[in-house]
């Protein structure tokens, strides 16, 4: 569960308009199965894209909103999947 909390924590910081760096994302380590693994992998990829697109996001507020919105969707999916999966608790 701690692994999931770390991923969720980083996403929540981004949703609170923080910037993160690649090292923070690469330090995330998680284990899961099934739907939870798919949701966490999707969020991880979106976090990497968010970091790599930093300069483009700064120049384009619409892109920034879009990528943060995608991370909100990922967070919602993690919450939904982990709420239904007792192994996430």
- Tens digits of pLDDT across the chain (89 residues): 558 999 999 999 999 999 999 999 999 988 888 999 999 999 999 999 999 999 999 999 999 999 999 999 999 999 999 888 777 75
Instruction: Please state the domain count of the chain.
Output: 1
Q: Let me know: does 27 contact 3? Beta carbons within 8 Å.
A: no
For residue 40, the SS3 value is helix
Question: What's the Cα-to-Cα distance from 68 to each of 34, 60, 88, rounded to whole Å?
Answer: 25, 13, 24
| Sign of the dihedral through C-alpha 62, 68, 69, 74 | positive
The confidence score (pLDDT) of residue 39 equals: 96
pTM of the model: 0.92
Residue 87: what pLDDT?
76
pLDDT for position 89? 57
Rounded to whole angstroms, the Cα distance separating 4 from 77 reads: 12
- The range of the structural domain enclosing residue 30 comes to 2-88
The pLDDT of residue 10:
97
């Amino acid at each position: 569960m701690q692994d999931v909390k770390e991923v969720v924590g980083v996403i929540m910081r981004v949703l609170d308009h923080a910037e993160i760096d690649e090292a923070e994302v690469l330090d995330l380590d998680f284990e899961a199965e099934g739907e939870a693994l798919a949701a966490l992998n999707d969020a991880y990829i979106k976090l990497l894209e968010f970091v790599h697109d930093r300069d483009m996001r700064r120049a384009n507020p619409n892109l920034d909103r879009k990528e943060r919105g995608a991370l909100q969707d990922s967070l919602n999916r993690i919450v939904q999947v982990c709420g239904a999966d007792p192994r996430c608790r």
